[in-house]
Every structure is written in C-alpha cells, then in structure tokens.
C-alpha cells in the first residue's frame, strides 16, 4: 500500500454509461482502499439495465475511499471512489487517512496545495459522457434544511410512523434557493410528468438528495388524500426515512404483498424495457401493416449458398440484407423525429438493431453500418453480438445508436405481431415463423414455405404509401431473391 504526498484527493463519480441509463448496481469491487491504481484502470464492475460494465478510473494514485457495498444501486453522478493523486511514497497512511472500506457516508477532503490548481492530464473519453481532459471541479451538493416531521412517535420496518395525520407529501419548510438536489434524470422526469415541484420535497438521500422513492411516496400520498384507509383515518401514515429511502427499501418490492399475488419491482432490464416502450407509446403515433410472403425461394437460395462452401449464411443475415436494400429505396423509414426542432432527421447510415431474448430479458444489440456489410459480414456480426448478449458481455455501445430494428419473433413459434417501435427510431420490421402452407403458385395450389411480415412505422415520418412500398419490396425480395441483384 502507498500514500500520496503533495497531491490532491479527487473524487470519481459514476459516469453516464449510455443512453437513458440513470443508475447502476455494484456487482464487484476490483480494488481495495489503499491500492495504487493507474489511469484508466478498472476499479469496479457494475450492472446497468443494459449490460455488465467494468468502469475505469480516469485518475492514477492511491484509492482512499470506496462508496457503496456490492449489491448497492447508485445513481449516475454518485461518488464511486476517491483517489489521492500525487507522488506515491509508502502504504499505511493512505488507508488510515481515508474512510473505512465499504462506507459511503464520508468524503475525503481535497488537499489544499498548489497542485490542486493545475489541470490533471487526460485519460481520453473512455465512457459515454465522461472525458478526463482535466480534473473536474468539486461541486458542492445542495443541503436544504430538513425539518423533522411533526408528531413522530417511532419507527417500524425502516419507516417513520407519524403520530398525527400527514396531508400530502413530506415537504421542506421553505423551498430551497438555487439548484434542486437531484442527480437522476429519471427523478426529474417522473416529477415533471406529474406536475410535482421538487423544490417542495425534502430529500431522504445523502445530503438531502431527492431520490426516486421520495417522489414516488409524494405521489402516493397525494393520491391517497381522496380515499384514506381506516389506518390513515386513525392517524398513522408511513413515510420513508433516510436509511430506507437511500437504500431503495421504500419501493413496490417492500410494500405488503397483495392478497392475490406478489409484487415484482420494475428494475434492471425489465425496468429499462418498460420505460422505453412506454415512452414509445406516448410519443410515437405508430401504425402497422402486414403481408404474407412465399419464402420458398429464399430458403432455397440460402441452402444453395451454404452448399457452396465457406461460412454458413444465417437467415436473419439475408433478411437484414433485404432490409438495408429496402431502406436505400425508402430512406424515410431510416430516420428519427426531433420533437423540439419539429424536424425529421433522415440518417445516412443504417445501424440495424435486432431483438434478442436473454436470461436477463430482452435486449436489442446494434449492427453498425449494416448497409455496408454483405451476407457473410452480417452473419458474423449477428453471431458475435448474440453470443455476447447471452454471456452478458454487451457494452453500452453495442446497445445504443440503432436507426432501424429487425424483430424475428418467429423463433417463438408465432405467425404475426404488431411490434412497438424502438424509440427514437421510426420503424421496425417483424418476421413471423416460416411454415408450410397451401399457396397458389404459378396458377396451381401447392404447399409453400410462407411467412408473415409486419411493419410498424412512425406516421410522422411518412404516409401509408411509403410504408406499404417498403413492405412490398421486402416481400418481393423474400419471394424472388434475384430482385436483390439489381442493388448488389
């Protein structure tokens, strides 16, 4: 172990790990208090709603404190570790000077030295939203006054039981001036959607930080005013205290089980999927069209390709190649809507997402520049991303930035679906199972391999004629793969 002399103590906070991610759970610490770390050395492994990620520290020096035990969920912007940056000498003092391992309440003070005024050398933009071109300025967290609730008589199961009736959410005595003590964008959005003024809430997190549990409790308390239970009429109301709310204990999972079922918290992958699909339904006026297609010739073409030697071509790769060719003809569907600017943004490159079911839930890995790949290249990339998804090794970069999604729900043995668009994309092609069915072929009834194709699209970016033209072209390529030769 070693300590830093004539240096400064820098605080490294949980960075933004990808689009829409507001928190992460600590899975495994990779360093101990007192360890010497290099710039960009991973210090902790966390699990987000999308992937397992090793988080590299942008500072080199001695670890003086860790914040949070394994299994703790931290919001983006919360402290992870503090690092003494400077000349490394010995070992024992660093561990003695820093807070005890596993504590998250204390912060190591920054050394007041001339070196603290200098910009630290950068480590590069390692993760989304955090570059290290210079040492970040330490921000003072807002500490609003937190008056004690009147009539508090005791605690039960990590909550404070008020002796008198409490009307509405727990509020501070006066709205605090300056910025509202909120880190998570999810908390702000939740409050904004329900017209809740965050300045009127007293946060139960560290230093008065307003947590999701505080907002959820305030909304429940407001909704309960119209019809209180007998227990509330008697004057007993449960409110979260700092210990339970900061640990996330006051949530749906901690509520009493319903007599007829069990409550399952919407968190992790399931929570991320719920948030994204709900947003898609709220913001996108979607419509769906579908068509049955004879896939017999496509299946024969694939068999011929695989019989000629070389890497085997997957069916999803052929469908992806058809998608990219169709998007070249109908670029309106490879776009997104900028609602603030009221503009449709047509995208030049196709980053093709595909739905993959894993043990952790549904994920949508993204094949970058799918329009520039041939069938072999698409097959290899689909295989790589699918294996990474099953092993839980997908990075945030593998899961973000898609422009169009291919959803092969036929693997579940179903024929059709009306898929929900993967926000902020403009369309999704769904492919059902390919099964033998009676089909009129060349004027005669025959048994053919038939598939149902469905297209869900954002009606803001195009009309039905464009969507129908796209789907018809896809169906033509499925029925007559030679159509693709015109664009190869």
Phi and psi at 131, nearest 5°, equal -105, 165
Q: How many CA atoms lie within 13 A of 243 on its CB side?
A: 6
Contact in structure between 146 and 171 (CB atoms under 8 Å): no
Contact in structure between 46 and 53 (CB atoms under 8 Å): yes
Partners of 293 in beta bridges: 451
**Closest C-alpha to 263, from 275, 254, 272:** 254
3-state class of 487 per DSSP? helix
CA 399 to CA 52: how far, in whole Å?
12
3-state class of 169 per DSSP? coil
Q: Which of 6, 40, 459, 476 is catalytic?
A: 459
Which DSSP symbol is given to 413?
A: T
**Closest C-alpha to 141, from 216, 210, 242, 217:** 210
Strands (E), 67-215: 73-75, 79-88, 152-156, 159-162
Q: Please, what's the largest Cα pairwise distance for the chain?
A: 89
3-state class of 239 per DSSP? strand
Handedness of CA 180, 184, 187, 190 (dihedral sign): positive
Whether 458 is a known active-site residue: answer no
Token pair of 81, please?
């570790």
At CA 256, angle to CA 250 and CA 262, rounded to 5?
Answer: 105
Phi and psi at 364, nearest 5°, equal -130, 85
Contact in structure between 374 and 321 (CB atoms under 8 Å): yes
* Burial letters 345-360, b for 16+ CB under 10 A, else e: eeeeebbbbbbbebeb
Whether 463 is a known active-site residue: answer yes
Q: Which of 241, 371, 463, 476 is catalytic?
A: 463
Q: Which residues are tagged catalytic?
A: 459, 463
């Amino acid at each position: 172990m070693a300590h830093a002399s004539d240096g400064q103590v820098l605080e490294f906070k949980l960075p933004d790990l990808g689009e829409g991610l507001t928190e992460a759970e600590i899975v495994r610490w990779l360093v101990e208090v007192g360890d010497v770390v290099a710039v960009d050395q991973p210090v902790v492994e966390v699990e987000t709603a999308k992937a397992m990620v090793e988080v590299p520290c942008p500072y080199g020096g001695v670890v003086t404190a860790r914040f949070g035990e394994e299994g703790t969920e931290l919001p983006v912007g919360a402290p992870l570790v503090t690092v003494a940056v400077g000349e490394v000498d010995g070992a024992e003092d660093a561990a003695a000077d820093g807070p005890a391992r596993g504590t998250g309440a204390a912060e190591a003070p920054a050394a007041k030295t001339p070196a603290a005024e200098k910009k630290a050398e950068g480590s590069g933009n390692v993760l989304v939203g955090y570059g290290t071109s210079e040492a970040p300025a330490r921000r003072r967290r807002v500490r609003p006054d937190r008056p004690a609730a009147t009539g508090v008589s005791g605690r039960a199961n990590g909550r404070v039981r008020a002796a008198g009736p409490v009307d509405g959410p727990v509020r501070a005595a006066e709205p605090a001036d300056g910025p509202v003590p909120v880190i998570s964008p999810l908390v702000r959005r939740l409050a904004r959607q329900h017209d809740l003024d965050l300045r009127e809430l007293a946060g139960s997190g560290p230093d008065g930080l307003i947590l999701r549990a505080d907002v959820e409790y305030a909304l429940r308390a407001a909704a309960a005013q119209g019809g209180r239970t007998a227990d509330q009429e008697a004057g007993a109301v449960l409110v979260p205290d700092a210990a339970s709310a900061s640990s996330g204990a006051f949530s749906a999972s901690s509520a009493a089980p319903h007599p007829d079922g069990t409550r399952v918290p919407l968190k992790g992958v399931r929570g991320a999927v719920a948030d994204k699909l709900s947003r898609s339904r709220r913001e996108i006026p979607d419509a769906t069209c579908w068509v049955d297609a004879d896939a017999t010739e496509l299946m024969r073409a694939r068999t011929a390709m695989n019989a000629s030697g070389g890497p085997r071509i997957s069916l999803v790769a052929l469908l992806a190649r058809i998608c990219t060719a169709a998007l070249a003809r109908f670029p309106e569907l490879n776009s997104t809507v900028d609602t603030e600017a009221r503009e449709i943004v047509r995208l030049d490159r196709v980053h093709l997402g595909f739905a993959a079911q894993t043990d952790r839930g549904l994920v949508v890995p993204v094949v970058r520049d799918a329009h520039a790949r041939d069938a072999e290249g698409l097959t290899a990339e689909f295989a790589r991303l699918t294996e990474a998804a099953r092993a839980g090794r997908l990075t945030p970069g593998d899961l973000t930035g898609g422009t169009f999604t291919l959803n092969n729900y036929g693997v579940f043995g179903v024929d059709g679906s009306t898929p929900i668009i993967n926000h902020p994309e403009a369309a999704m092609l769904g492919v059902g199972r390919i099964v033998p069915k009676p089909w009129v072929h060349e004027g005669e009834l025959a048994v053919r391999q038939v598939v149902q194709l469905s297209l869900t699209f954002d009606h803001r970016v195009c009309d039905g004629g464009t969507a129908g033209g796209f789907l018809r072209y896809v169906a033509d390529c499925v029925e007559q793969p030679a159509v693709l030769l015109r664009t190869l």
